[in-house]
């Protein structure tokens, strides 16, 4: 019988959740759903130095916002709990000891200073980063070089030590990556990675293997940066006797900086003016706030869609996919091998498309909250809906609605007088004066009626419509933008329209 598909996203709680991270979550999630499998969130908090308070909750919240919630996690629980590596500490040591007994790993007593000294000693122009490997390990203090009595004594005295894997010499290690096909490495090229640290915590290398095995993970997705350490993991699966259960790997292409080269980082976002994190992230130490896609006005649907097609396509011309469509269409053999530069303009385009595509009630509340935060309370639901419908074509981000629609609810504070002043004259002033009078007695307040009245009055005064529309717009809106003026007048109501004309008249004239 086929094993049930189980995948996992395994972040370290060290800060904001990066675009690349969300995409890894997405691919995991899509794969799991497509195969009716389980999606697990496992927190890899084995590095006490990098641990950041609140980061785990933040990650959970991001997944929730994206609509990619796990089936098992520290929060939801599950049959393989705990899902936090710090709470699984004991089991890693056991396996590490087992490897030592088998001769596949060893105790190393070198101090950080000794390691540094070793690196300094062997560092040359040709070899800028000397490794702790078959050629150097003979010269270090470990259970490989010390006699048994000495080792037991050191251990007995509680001497700080780590457990390192003993990499074999000259073995070809290969495996089949779901995206890249067969990849192989020479075992001599990898160093003797630390498996268990001095503080008793495992490193990533030991922890992923042990946990993926314990949690019955069948497919493992991770960034391409992990490819070079895959042989170490492969060896661990083998030494621990679990090779049969090793998950299939997929090393995902990286998301690159839009300019220049290299992996996209939070810094690039700050530098180039776009978000990199899914949601706002506030560093608890520096109190520095980094803006997220959510707060900048992105729809989760758009965010997910944009990420899905950054490195994947279904071979057709389609670009807009709902989450369910993605679940149906996603496939690993259409995932690109090369990295993709992030393009913020395109990301915004996706958002614009989703604003137009989604029914307004999906995002209305977000806009409303934004308005209320900026001091405009919505009293008339119906008017609010009509306004949103009227301006949504002009909004790329949800936060654009403020600029495009706030004038429907409050009179513009300043108006762009300069736009009409040069062509302003007595006749025009008179026109608006008469218009205001006529509007006062206008019974049925509709865009069509207002337009009709406007036209008639213009004809009477012998002024062209076009000459008058811009001033009218400036009076109502404050600037040269927005929908048709008559629609605006109809929506803001009679009193307000007349009020803005009068006010505009005094400002311009």
Partner RNA sequence: GGAGCGUUGGUCAAGGGGUUAAGACACCUCCCUUUCACGGAGGAAUCACGGGUUCGAUUCCCGUACGCUCUACCA
Residue written as token pair 């810094």: 267
Task: Candidates 142, 203, 218, 305: give the one binding RNA (CB under 7 A).
Answer: 203
Nearer to RNA, 273 or 338 (CB): 338
Task: Copy the structure tokens of residue 368.
Answer: 């409303």
266 noted as active-site residue: yes
CB of 391 to RNA, least distance (A): 8
Contact call for residue 197 and RNA (CB under 7 A) = yes
* Total of chain residues touching RNA, rule CB under 7 A: 86
Q: Which of residues 244-273 bind RNA (CB under 7 A)?
A: 253-254, 256, 258, 260-263
CB of 313 to RNA, least distance (A): 4
Contact call for residue 180 and RNA (CB under 7 A) = yes
Q: Which of residues 62-101 bind RNA (CB under 7 A)?
A: none
Contact call for residue 465 and RNA (CB under 7 A) = yes
Helices (H) and strands (E) in the chain, counts: 19, 13
434: left (phi over 0), alpha (psi -120 to 50) or beta: alpha
Quickly list DSSP for 293-353.
Answer: TTTTT--HHHHHHHHHTSSB--SSS-----HHHHHHH--GGGB-SS-EE--HHHHHHHHHH
Q: Which of residues 380-419 bind RNA (CB under 7 A)?
A: 393-394
Contact call for residue 211 and RNA (CB under 7 A) = no
CA–CA dist 440, 179 (Å, integer)? 70
Contact call for residue 305 and RNA (CB under 7 A) = no
Instruction: Output 402-407 pairs: Cβ under 8 A, ≥24 positions apart.
Output: 402/370, 402/371, 402/374, 404/481, 404/482, 406/371, 406/374, 406/376, 407/476, 407/477, 407/478, 407/482, 407/488
Contact in structure between 96 and 238 (CB atoms under 8 Å)? no
| Alpha carbons within 13 A on the beta-carbon side of 403 | 11
Contact call for residue 126 and RNA (CB under 7 A) = yes
> Which among 89, 266, 383, 494 is annotated as catalytic?
266
Contact call for residue 497 and RNA (CB under 7 A) = no
Contact in structure between 292 and 275 (CB atoms under 8 Å)? yes
Task: Candidates 209, 473, 491, 492: give the one binding RNA (CB under 7 A).
Answer: 473
Task: Candidates 295, 325, 433, 467: give the one binding RNA (CB under 7 A).
Answer: 467
CB of 444 to RNA, least distance (A): 22
Task: Candidates 310, 367, 398, 489: give the one binding RNA (CB under 7 A).
Answer: 310
Nearer to RNA, 7 or 241 (CB): 7
CB of 138 to RNA, least distance (A): 17
Contact call for residue 201 and RNA (CB under 7 A) = yes
3-state helix, strand, coil in the chain (%, to 5): 50, 10, 40
Contact call for residue 471 and RNA (CB under 7 A) = no
CB of 128 to RNA, least distance (A): 5
Q: What mask of x and - would describe binding to RNA in positions 40 to 59, judged by CB under 7 A?
A: ----x-xx-xx---------
Contact call for residue 494 and RNA (CB under 7 A) = no
CB of 477 to RNA, least distance (A): 7
Closest by Cα among 296, 344, 292, 347 to 15: 292
The residues assigned a catalytic role are 266
């Amino acid at each position: 019988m086929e094993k049930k598909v189980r995948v996992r996203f395994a972040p370290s709680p060290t800060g904001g959740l990066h675009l690349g991270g969300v995409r890894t979550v997405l691919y995991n999630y899509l794969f799991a759903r497509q195969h009716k499998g389980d999606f697990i969130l496992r927190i890899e908090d084995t590095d006490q130095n990098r641990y950041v308070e609140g980061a785990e909750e933040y990650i959970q919240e991001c997944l929730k916002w994206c609509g990619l919630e796990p089936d098992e996690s520290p929060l939801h629980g599950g049959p393989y709990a705990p899902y936090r590596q710090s709470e699984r500490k004991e089991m890693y040591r056991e396996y590490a000891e087992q490897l030592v007994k088998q001769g596949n790993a060893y105790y190393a007593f070198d101090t950080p200073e000794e390691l540094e000294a070793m690196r300094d000693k062997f560092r040359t122009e040709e070899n800028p980063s000397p490794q702790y490997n078959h050629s150097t390990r003979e010269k270090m203090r470990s259970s490989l070089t010390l006699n048994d009595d000495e080792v037991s004594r050191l251990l007995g005295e509680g001497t700080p030590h780590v457990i390192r894997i003993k990499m074999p010499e000259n073995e070809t290690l290969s495996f089949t990556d779901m995206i890249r096909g067969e990849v192989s490495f020479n075992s001599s090229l990898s160093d003797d990675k630390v498996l268990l640290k001095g503080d008793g915590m495992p490193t990533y290398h030991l922890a992923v293997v042990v946990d993926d095995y314990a949690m019955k993970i069948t497919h493992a997705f991770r960034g391409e940066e992990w490819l070079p350490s895959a042989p170490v993991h492969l060896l661990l699966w083998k030494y621990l006797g679990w090779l049969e259960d090793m998950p299939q790997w997929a090393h995902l292409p990286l998301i690159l900086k839009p300019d220049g080269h290299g992996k996209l980082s939070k810094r690039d976002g700050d530098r180039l003016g776009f978000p990199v994190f899914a949601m706002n992230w506030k560093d608890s130490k520096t109190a520095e706030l980094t803006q997220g896609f959510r707060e900048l006005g992105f729809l989760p649907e758009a965010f997910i869609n944009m990420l899905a097609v950054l490195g994947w396509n279904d071979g057709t011309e389609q670009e807009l996919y709902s989450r369910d469509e993605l679940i149906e269409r996603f496939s690993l053999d259409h995932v690109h091998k090369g990295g993709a530069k992030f393009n913020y303009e395109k990301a915004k385009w996706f958002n614009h498309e989703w604003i137009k595509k989604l029914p307004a009630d999906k995002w209305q509340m977000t806009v409303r909250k934004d308005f209320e935060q900026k001091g405009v309370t919505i009293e008339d639901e119906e008017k609010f809906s009509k306004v949103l419908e009227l301006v949504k074509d002009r909004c790329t981000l949800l936060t654009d609605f403020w600029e495009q629609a706030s004038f429907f609810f409050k009179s513009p504070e300043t108006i762009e007088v300069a736009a009409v002043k040069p062509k302003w004259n007595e006749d025009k002033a008179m026109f608006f004066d008469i218009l205001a009078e006529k509007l006062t007695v206008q019974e049925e307040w509709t865009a069509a009626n207002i337009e009709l009245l406007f036209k008639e009055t213009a004809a009477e005064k012998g002024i062209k419509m076009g000459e008058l529309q811009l001033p009218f717009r400036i009076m109502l809106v404050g600037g040269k933008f927005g929908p048709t003026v008559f629609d605006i007048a109809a929506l803001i109501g009679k009193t307000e329209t007349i009020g803005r004309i009068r006010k505009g008249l005094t400002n311009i004239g």
